[in-house]
A and B are shown apart, each in its own frame.
Chain A
Amino acid sequence: MKYVNHESVVKRMVNRLTINKVFKAVFFFATLFALLALAILFYRIISQGIGYLTPEFFQNFSSRFPAKAGIKAALVGSIWLMFVVAPVSIILGVGTAIYLEEYAKKNKLSDFIRMNISNLAGVPSVVFGLLGLTIFVRALSLGNSVLAAGFTMSLLILPVIIVASQEAIRAVPNDVREASYGMGATKWQTVVKIVLPSAIPGILTGAILALSRAVGETAPLIVIGIPVIIQFLPTGLLSQFTALPMQIYDWAKRPQQDFQFVAAAGILVLMIFLLIMNSIAIFIRNKFSKRY
C-alpha cells in the first residue's frame, strides 16, 4: 500500500503553484505599498520645501513672515537636546542591559523587571511628557530647559535602548564568555573585552534608532511646555530652547499657505538630520562589526 498517490500529486501541482504565485504577489504589493507611500511623502515634501531650503533658512530665527522664517533656533536646539539625550540614555540604557543580562540572577524579580521594561517601550510618549513635567520641570525646578527636555526624552527612549542592548548582548555566544571566564577573567573584563565588542553593532543600531525617535518626538515637548517662538540660541543646559518637531508643528498649524512650504523645508531638515544620524550608526556598525 502506497500512501503517496502520484497521480493526485500531479493533479494538485497546478493549484499549489498558483497559490505560491498569488502569495508572492501579495507580499510584493505589501512591500510596494510601503515604498509608494514613502515616495509620495518624499515627493510632496521635497517639491514643497526645496524652494525654502536656502542658506538664510538656516541663519534666521522663526518669524511671522514665511519668507523670513528660519530654522536656526530649532536646529541648534535639537542638537543641544541630542547632546543631553545621547549620553544619558545610552549610559543608563546599556548599563541596565549589562546588569540584567550579565550580572542579575535569573529569578522572578528580574523576570518581572525585564517584562516591564518591554512594556514601558510601548507607553505613549505623552505619558512620558507628563512624567517629565512632574519630575524635571516642577519637582526639580529645571523649568522648560534643555536639561529637563533631555531627561524626559531619555526616559522615553530608555526602554527601547535597554531592550535592543539586551538582545545584542544575548546574541553573543555563551562559549566565548566561558572561554574568557575559563582563563581567569573577571566578569568586568569579560563584559568589556568580549561581550561589548561583539554586542556594540546591535547596541548602537538600537541606540541610534531610539535617538532618531527622540529627535522627531513632539508630544513630550508640548507637555513640558517647550516654546516655539525663540529668538536666541540656547546658552547652556538650563537655557530655554525649541526643537525641530516643535518648530515644524508650529509652522504647519499656521493659516498662511506659505507656512506649509516652510514646514516642508523644516521636515527636510529633520529628515536630513535623521539620515546623518543613521549614517553614523551604519558607519560605526561596519567599523566594529565582528563575525562569528
Chain B
Amino acid sequence: MVQSLENGSNTLNDTSGIVYNTQQLNLWYGNHHALKDINLQIKENEVTAIIGPSGCGKSTYIKTLNRMVELVPTVKTSGKILYRERNIFDNDYGVEELRTKVGMVFQKPNPFPKSIYDNIAYGPRIHGIKNKKILDQIVEKSLRGAAIWDEVKDRLNTNAYSLSGGQQQRICIARCLAIEPDVILMDEPTSALDPISTLKVEELIQELKADYSIIIVTHNMQQAARISDKTAFFLSGEVVEFDQTDVIFSTPEDKRTEDYISGRFG
C-alpha cells in the first residue's frame, strides 16, 4: 500500500518529482510468485534504500525497474511501473531506451575486459558518439563524478581488471554516469567490497544524490540508515513498510519491520 507520511508534510501523494511510480506490480518466476502487489513511489534526487532478508524480492524489484529481470526466460509480470509517467511495460517502450535513462551498478564489480577509457566510453559509443574530443570529456567528467579520476588519470589505457575491487566498482559507477542517466539502480554495490572501499562508495552515493535519483538494494541495514532518505522494507515479495529512513529505523509501524531492523531475524 502507498503509505502517506505523518503530519502531511513531505507527503508521498504529491506526484511532482516522482521518477518511479509502481502500481500493483506482480512478478512470477515460472510458478514462483516473487513480487506481490508492489506499490511504491520513488522521488527524484533522493536515495531510496530497499532492505529485507535474502529472497524477499528486493533484487528482483530493482531489476524490474530497468527490465533486466526479463533476461530470466520464465519471468511474467503484471501491473504497471510508471517511469516519468510512462509505463515501462508498454510495447512501444524499448528496453534499450529505458536503460539509457536508468543506469545500473551491479553487486559484483563487472568492468569489461577493456581499458579504463574504453569501459567508460562504451555507453556513449553504443549510443553513437564517435567524436574523440567529446568522448575524452565524457570520460573525464564521469571518472571525476565517480571520485576516481585522480587515481586513474595517468593510466586510462590500462586494463580495468588491474584495479582493485573497490576501484573497479567506482569504474562501474563512472561507466554508468557516462550515459548521463536520470536514475541509478544499485544492486548491493558494496557487498563485495572491503570497508574502506565501501565507505568511498557510500560517500560517492551521497554526492551523486544531487544530480541523480538513486535506488539501492542493500543487505546492510546500517548502510541503509547511513545513506538513504527513504527506506522500503521487503519481506516475502511484499512491501511491508515504506517511509522516511529515520522513521523506519526509529519508529517503524509494522512489528515485522521492527523485528528485522533490530536483528531478530534475517
Contacts and interface: CB of A to CB of B under 8 A. Distances in A.
B127 interface: yes
Contacts of A291: 113, 159, 161
A239 interface: no
A175 B108 contact: yes
Contacts of A178: 68, 71, 106, 110
B110 A184 contact: no
A182 B104 contact: yes
Contacts of B172: 179
Given A182-B68, A183-B122, A183-B179, A176 B99 contact: no
Given A175-B108, A291-B113, A181 B68 contact: yes
Contacts of B98: 184
Given A106-B73, A193-B126, A183 B103 contact: yes
Contacts of A189: 126
Interface residues on A, range: 20 to 34
Contacts of B73: 105-106
Nearest to A292: B113
B112 interface: yes
B252 interface: no
A37 B226 CA distance: 69
B94 to A, nearest CB: 9
Contacts of A54: none
Interface centre among B96, B98, B176 (most CB of A within 10 A): B96
A18 interface: no
Contacts of A100: none
Interface string B158-175: 010100000000001001
A194 interface: yes
B79 interface: no
Contacts of A184: 95-100, 123, 126-127, 179
A209 to B, nearest CB: 24
Given A189-B126, A193-B122, A292-B113, A183 B175 contact: yes
A106 B30 CA distance: 14
Contacts of B108: 175
Contacts of A278: none
Given A176-B111, A290-B113, 6 more contacts: A178-B68, A182-B104, A184-B126, A184-B127, A189-B126, A193-B126
Q: Which 9 A-B pairs have the closest CB atoms?
A: A184-B100, A175-B110, A184-B99, A182-B104, A290-B113, A183-B123, A184-B96, A179-B110, A185-B126
Interface of B: 66, 68, 71, 73, 95-100, 103-104, 106, 108, 110-114, 122-123, 126-127, 159, 161, 172, 175-176, 179
